[in-house]
């Protein structure tokens, strides 16, 4: 089935019943254009719709190309060349098992489809792979920052994601690379029980002082049964800049399981009590679906669910919260 038609079906199902205005704002047309520009290979990309949980509704858009869809080919993005094409060519040439997905991430809330971020998701903790990605993406200047950060981070952490942001670089005084880390069960349990361990690990990677709300907020996430991840912007010297995001990740079955759904509801209530989320949390369960669609003699599956809740603390600013809807299509 045509990929654009599948995208339209997915988006319509997620946005029906008044959810477009409440969750996506007026960003739908820009996200659709971003989708069309991101197509590569023959597969349907994994999609993330990034939505705030309070304030005016808007959406940013992420399209993730899987290694299996482009491995060993000369795939090209439908709407991007230059460093984006170089990154994709490098990605398609990697050894099986080392890389997982290559993402293009768009600031669709400001109508930018020209300068997406490009990000690598890996399958294992081999530091040479993200370094080669940075070279391929035209940012060899960030290699030392990445290496310094991964040397200083707690050994239990796993750096699963590396990203560069061409559209934002001009506004920043110093170059930076984004790194996301899965903290692992051992550290998550330790953070839930002991603020001093969490503070020490954050100091270790350069966050000596952060918002007073961050530590108890991270501890609350760590106490949930869902895996905890951190995201940092890493500057020169390999030290994290004064911004920190912490998220927990859900699986599709979490929304159907009674115990897990109660825990999700508890997190939603906590965010609302802090003023970081509003009534749109009640709409999120309605975005969970898995369906088979048939059009013109062709058939495909489509599915969607909220995969993350992420909190962000930035120096001098109030914290905020977002969710990410993950949407997929297959045969």
Q: Can you tell me the mean pLDDT for 123-130?
A: 93
Q: How many CB atoms lie within 10 A of CB 201?
A: 19
Chain position carrying tokens 């100091």:
203
Quote the CA–CA distance of 101 and 86 in Å, as a whole number.
Answer: 15
Q: What is the DSSP string of 187-213?
A: HHHHHHH-HHHHHHHHHHTT-SS--TT
Helices (H), strands (E): how many in the chain? 11, 11
Contacts of 123 (CB under 8 A, 6+ apart): 97, 98, 99, 100
Average pLDDT, the chain: 95
Reported as a pLDDT band with limits 50, 70 and 90, residue 46 is very high
| pLDDT in the model for residue 167 | 72
pLDDT at 329 over 90: yes
**Cα 58-62-66 angle, rounded to 5 deg:** 165
**At 173, is the pLDDT very low, low, confident or very high (cuts 50, 70, 90)?**
low
Residues 14, 304: contact at Cβ < 8 Å? yes
Instruction: Work out the average pLDDT over 122-140.
Output: 95
pLDDT in tens, 235-281: 999 999 999 999 999 999 999 999 999 999 999 999 999 999 999 99
Q: What value, to the nearest 5°, has the Cα angle with vertex 316 and ends 183 and 110?
A: 80
Q: What is the pTM of this model?
A: 0.96
Contact 268, 281 (CB under 8 A): yes
Cα–Cα dist 117/133, whole Å: 13
Residues 283-310: tens digit of each pLDDT: 999 999 999 999 888 899 999 999 999 9
* Helix boundaries (H) for 257-306: 258-273
């Amino acid at each position: 089935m045509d990929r654009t038609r599948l995208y339209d079906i997915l988006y319509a199902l997620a946005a029906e019943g008044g959810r477009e205005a409440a969750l996506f704002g007026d960003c739908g047309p820009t996200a659709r254009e971003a989708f069309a520009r991101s197509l590569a290979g023959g597969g349907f990309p994994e999609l993330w719709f990034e939505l705030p949980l309070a304030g005016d509704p808007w959406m940013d858009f992420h399209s993730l190309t899987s290694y299996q869809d482009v491995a060993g080919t000369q795939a090209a993005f439908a709407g991007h060349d230059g460093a984006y094409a170089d990154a994709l060519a490098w990605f398609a040439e990697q050894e099986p098992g080392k890389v997982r997905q290559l993402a293009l991430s768009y600031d669709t809330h400001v109508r930018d489809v020209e300068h997406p971020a490009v990000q690598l998701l890996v399958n294992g903790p081999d530091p040479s792979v993200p370094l080669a990605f940075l070279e391929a993406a035209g940012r060899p200047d960030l290699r030392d920052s990445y290496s310094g950060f991964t040397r200083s981070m707690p050994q239990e952490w796993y750096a699963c994601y590396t990203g560069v942001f061409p559209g934002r670089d001009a506004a920043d005084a110093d170059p930076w690379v984004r790194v996301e880390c899965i903290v692992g069960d051992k550290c998550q349990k330790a953070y839930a029980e002991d603020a001093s361990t969490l503070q020490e690990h954050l100091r270790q990677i350069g966050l000596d002082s952060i918002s007073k709300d961050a530590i108890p907020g991270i501890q609350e996430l760590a106490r949930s049964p869902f895996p905890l991840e951190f995201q940092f912007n890493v500057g020169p010297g390999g030290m994290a800049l004064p911004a920190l995001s912490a998220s927990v990740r859900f699986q599709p079955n979490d929304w159907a399981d009674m115990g897990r759904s109660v825990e999700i509801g508890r997190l939603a209530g906590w965010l609302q009590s802090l003023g970081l989320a509003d009534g749109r949390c009640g709409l999120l369960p309605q975005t969970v679906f898995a369906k088979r669609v048939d059009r013109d003699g062709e058939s495909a599956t489509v599915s969607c669910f909220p995969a993350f809740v992420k909190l962000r603390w930035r120096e001098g600013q109030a914290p905020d919260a977002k969710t990410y809807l993950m949407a997929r299509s297959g045969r």
